[in-house]
Amino acid sequence: MHPVLDDLITLLELERIEDNIFRGDSRDIGSAQVFGGQVLGQALSAAQHTVDGRVAHSLHAYFLRRGDMAAPIIYEVDRARDGGSFSNRRVVAIQHGRPIFNLAASFQNPEPGIEHQAVMPDVLDPEELRDIIDVEAELLDKMPAKLRRHMTDKRPFVVRPVPQADAAKSMPPVRCVWLRTVDTLPEDLALHQNLLAYVSDYELLGVSTLPHDLPFGQGAIIMASLDHALWFHREFRIDRWLLYAMDSPNASGARGFSRGQLFSEDGSLVASTAQEGLVRVVEPGSKWHRSDPRLQA
């Protein structure tokens, strides 16, 4: 297996300390704090370790504090309920004695039922598109050096953006990307779900900024995830192409709200996401510009 993907899988597996307590490390991907998708994937993994025979179908999470990449993260799982068909788990992620993140996840015994779904957007196939590092050189130039190196050299996922119809700086708040892991994975649905939780935080909040031509390269934007929800609808493989179709119906109050749908190549809707995050435009020298470590430079 590709070493970067293997490292990510190991990162999400966690060390079991007691029945309901787990420990995880972090990886520096070039951001100012622990990547939110990492904590999301690890928390889901911790919950999965306490559930037998049931499959995750939804999770709802809040990001409370920035994560410290130099310290381990402790995940405490509360086995809130095990009913006849559903199990619920609550997970708190702790660093330096304080919660940095909490999550509620629900698991279900697989069973048949009524079915309908949204229609997948009509976009180019992934084989017709170029990799993100080939088509977004200008965006990469604006990223911090560490993040740029991660995007170009150390990636567990292949990402191919669908070109926007309007190439102007200010665009509609809509974005589609094809993604998959860089290598084949074992037959383990829980693993595929953990990796999807990890990557579901990728670019989602940024969609809310597309209409506004914000000055990302001038050190004047603070962005941070506040909450994140993810629903698993059908079985899938993340080592095969998934279309991540995202849109942002609202931005207000220094917050952006975005939604996403993930489709397999055959058009099956396999998962849905929603996220709200801080999107603060600040003036140089302001208290936010001086003090907030999440400032995107």
pLDDT digits (tens, 9 = 90+) for 44-98: 999 999 999 999 999 999 999 999 999 999 999 999 999 999 999 999 999 999 9
Catalytic: 225?
Answer: yes
For residue 180, pLDDT beyond 80 = yes
The active-site residue, picked from 225, 248, 258, 261, is 225
Compute the CA torsion angle 95, 96, 100, 104 (nearest 10 deg). Answer: 60
Q: How confident is the model at residue 142 (pLDDT cuts 50, 70, 90)?
A: low
Catalytic: 275?
Answer: yes
Catalytic: 95?
Answer: no
HSE-CB at 135 with a 13 A cutoff on CA atoms is: 13
**What pLDDT, on the 0 to 100 scale, is given for residue 140?**
64
Question: Could you tell me which of 166, 230, 227 has the C-alpha nearest to residue 195?
Answer: 230
DSSP 121: P
Instruction: Write the DSSP assignment of 25-56 as a string of letters.
Output: -----SSSS--HHHHHHHHHHHHHTT-SS-EE
For residue 287, pLDDT beyond 70 = no
In this prediction, what percent of the chain has a pLDDT beyond 70? 85
User: pTM for this one?
Assistant: 0.89
**What pLDDT, on the 0 to 100 scale, is given for residue 222?**
86
Q: Is 140 helix (H, G, I), strand (E, B) or coil?
A: helix
For residue 291, pLDDT beyond 50 = no
Who's near 293: CB < 8 A, 6+ residues apart?
32, 33, 66
What average pLDDT score do residues 89-117 get? 97
For residue 29, pLDDT beyond 90 = no
The active-site residue, picked from 45, 261, 275, 296, is 275
9-24 residue pLDDT tens: 999 999 999 999 999 9
For residue 217, pLDDT beyond 60 = no
Tokens of 125: 């196939």
Q: What is the CA radius of gyration of the chain?
A: 19
The active-site residue, picked from 38, 45, 201, 264, is 201
Place of tokens 């079985």: 235
Angstrom distance (rounded) from CA 248 to CA 203: 12
Task: Report the topology of domain 3-110+126-296.
Answer: Porin (2.40.160)
Region of 30 (left: φ > 0; alpha: ψ -120 to 50; beta: rest) is left
| Beta strand extents in the chain (DSSP E only) | 15-18, 21-24, 55-63, 73-82, 86-95, 98-108, 157-161, 174-181, 221-232, 242-252, 255-264, 269-281, 295-296
| Other C-beta atoms lying within 10 Å of the C-beta of residue 66 | 17
